[in-house]
Amino acid sequence: MRFVVLSDTHNLHDHVRVPEGDVLLFGGDMCSRGTLEEVARFGAFLAKLPHPHKVVIAGNHDWPFERSPKRAVQALGEVVYLQDEAVEIEGVKIYGSPWQPEFFSWAFNLPRGKPLKKVWSRIPEDTQVLLTHGPPHDILDRTFRREAVGCEALRERVEELPELRAHIFGHIHEAYGRYQSGQCTFFNASICDLAQRVAQNPPWVFEL
User: Under CATH, which number does the domain 2-207 receive?
Assistant: 3.60.21.10
Phi, then psi, of 97 in degrees rounded to 5:
-155, 140
Residue ranges covered by each domain of the chain = 2-207
Kindly report, residue by residue over 77-99, the tens digit of the pLDDT. Answer: 999 999 999 999 999 999 999 99
Q: Can you tell me the distance from the alpha carbon of 61 to that of 9, in angstroms, rounded to the nearest whole number?
A: 11
Q: Which residues pair with 169 in a beta bridge?
A: 188
Does the pLDDT of residue 193 top 90, yes or no? no
Does the pLDDT of residue 199 top 90, yes or no? no
Beta strands 109-110; 100-101: pairing state? parallel
Kindly report, residue by residue over 33-64, the tens digit of the pLDDT. Answer: 999 999 999 999 999 999 999 999 999 999 99
Kindly report, residue by residue over 98-153, the tens digit of the pLDDT. Answer: 999 998 889 999 999 999 999 999 999 999 999 999 999 999 999 999 999 999 99
pLDDT band for position 197 (cuts 50, 70, 90): confident
This prediction has a pTM of 0.96
Residue 194: per-residue pLDDT: 82
Residues in the chain: 208
Secondary structure class of 39 (helix, strand, coil):
helix
Kindly report, residue by residue over 179-192, the tens digit of the pLDDT. Answer: 999 999 999 999 99
> Is residue 114 within a helix (H) or strand (E), and if so which, with residue range?
helix 114-120
